[in-house]
Amino acid sequence: MPGFNLYQIAGGALLALILASLAYAVRALSISGSVAAFCLGTILFGLGGLSWAALLLAFFIPSSLLSFLFKQRKSKTEESYQKGSRRDAWQVLANGGIAGVAAIAHTISPGSLLPWLAASAALAAASADTWATELGALSRKEPRLITSGKKVSRGTSGGISIEGEGAALAGALTIAIVSALLLPEGAGASGGFSYPGWILLVTAGGFIGCQVDSLFGATLQVIYYCPVCRKETEKHPLHSCGTETIYKQGIRWMNNDWVNLFCTASAVLIASLLVFVTLA
Ligand SMILES: [Zn+2]
């Protein structure tokens, strides 16, 4: 049963260390990203145990593989993203921070289903967003802005495509299935949730959270402009060409990491609302 267990924490730290090192080796994470992933993994594996480990891995393994596999094909698009494909600590925390907080909440209150729901929805949204970004970048057609429907160049924040949306759905569904299979005892059929019902609400939370991400990306996220390349970019203060970028639109502190945090947080909110509606 869950709780505070030193052997579990030591085992969790070891597993987290192996994964963080592997992710660094395949260039999925930067140094700071690996350190953050090690800490996050230790918390999730060490406090949550095997089911929490499985949930994080269901996000981490496919996302890292996708980034790794498509690195070369999308190297042209990569440039317009803020930080390239090596995720740093802020990116790791923006995607996985809520799951870490949920694992701590689970240790404090092991009988509550809410931490498991929160971690599942947050990781479903992170997964949806990552799959959409990696696979959507391969779309042959130009994406359209989620707000106006106007065609935008690949990699533009808030740009969506059919392929990207399909990938988002698949990414959220993957986490939802793992989450349902590992539902804590008593929460399944007898506890008010059927497996399909649980899968549906976690997938919905993750998928809608991903739409919030695009919506924020198109409206509130800070965007800069490179006067030399004549391109919009997330990079600041310097563009990849070395030119200083100029503020164009958005809230100045609202970078992609904040948008990702809002994405995972909104997924938790939506999934929780759906649970209350379902149980009411
Ligand atoms: Zn430039």
Per-residue pLDDT tens digits of the chain, which is 280 residues long: 445 788 999 999 999 999 999 989 888 889 999 999 999 999 999 999 999 999 999 999 998 888 778 775 655 555 555 555 688 999 999 999 999 999 999 999 888 889 999 999 999 999 999 999 888 888 888 899 999 999 988 878 899 999 999 999 999 999 999 999 998 776 655 467 788 999 999 999 999 999 999 999 999 999 999 999 988 888 888 998 999 999 999 999 999 999 999 999 999 999 999 988 887 6
Q: How far is the CA of 241 from the centre of ligand 1 (A)?
A: 4
Total structural domains within the chain: 1
Q: How far is the CA of 248 from the centre of ligand 1 (A)?
A: 14
DSSP string, the chain: --S--HHHHHHHHHHHHHHHHHHHHTTSB-HHHHHHHHHHHHHIIIII-HHHHHHHHHHHHHHHHHHHHTTTTTHHHHTTSSS-SSB-HHHHHHHHHHHHHHHHHHHH-TT-SHHHHHHHHHHHHHHHHHHHHHHHTT-SSPPEETTT--B--TT-TTEE-HHHHHHHHHHHHHHHHHHHHTPPTTSSGGGT--HHHHHHHHHHHHHHHHHHHHHHHHHTS-EEEETTTTEEES--SB-TTSPBPEEEES-TT--HHHHHHHHHHHHHHHHHHHHHHHH-
- Residue 76 belongs to a domain: yes
Q: How far is the CA of 233 from the centre of ligand 1 (A)?
A: 9
- Residue 89 belongs to a domain: yes
Q: How far is the CA of 226 from the centre of ligand 1 (A)?
A: 5
pLDDT of residue 76: 55
pLDDT of residue 1: 47
- Scan for tokens 């929490």, then name that residue: 52
Q: How far is the CA of 255 from the centre of ligand 1 (A)?
A: 19
Burial (CB < 10 A; 0-12, 13-18, 19+), residue 66, is: buried
Q: How far apart are CA 138 and CA 74, in angstroms?
A: 7
Q: How far is the CA of 244 from the centre of ligand 1 (A)?
A: 8
Q: How far is the CA of 117 from the centre of ligand 1 (A)?
A: 43
Domain containing 123: what range?
Answer: 6-279
Q: How far is the CA of 239 from the centre of ligand 1 (A)?
A: 5
Q: What is the dihedral of CA 86, 214, 104, 93, to 10 degrees?
A: 20
- Residue 1 belongs to a domain: no
pLDDT of residue 188: 56
Report the half-sphere exposure of 196 (CA within 13 A, side-chain side).
0
- Residue 197 belongs to a domain: yes
- Residue 102 belongs to a domain: yes
Q: How far is the CA of 238 from the centre of ligand 1 (A)?
A: 8
Q: How far is the CA of 266 from the centre of ligand 1 (A)?
A: 33
Answer yes or no: are the C-beta atoms of 145 and 159 closer than 8 Å: yes
pLDDT of residue 75: 55
pLDDT of residue 42: 96
The predicted model scores a pTM of: 0.90
pLDDT of residue 190: 47
Q: How far apart are CA 280 and CA 278, in angstroms?
A: 6
Q: How far is the CA of 221 from the centre of ligand 1 (A)?
A: 19
Q: How far is the CA of 232 from the centre of ligand 1 (A)?
A: 9
By DSSP bridging, strand 159-160 and strand 223-226 are unpaired
pLDDT of residue 52: 94
Q: How far is the CA of 228 from the centre of ligand 1 (A)?
A: 5
Widest CA span of the chain, in angstroms?
A: 62
- Per the DSSP assignment, residues forming a β-bridge with 87 are 29
- Residue 92 belongs to a domain: yes
pLDDT of residue 136: 85
Q: How far is the CA of 201 from the centre of ligand 1 (A)?
A: 43
Q: How far apart are CA 162 and CA 11, in angstroms?
A: 41
Q: How far is the CA of 243 from the centre of ligand 1 (A)?
A: 6
pLDDT of residue 186: 62
- Residue 231 belongs to a domain: yes
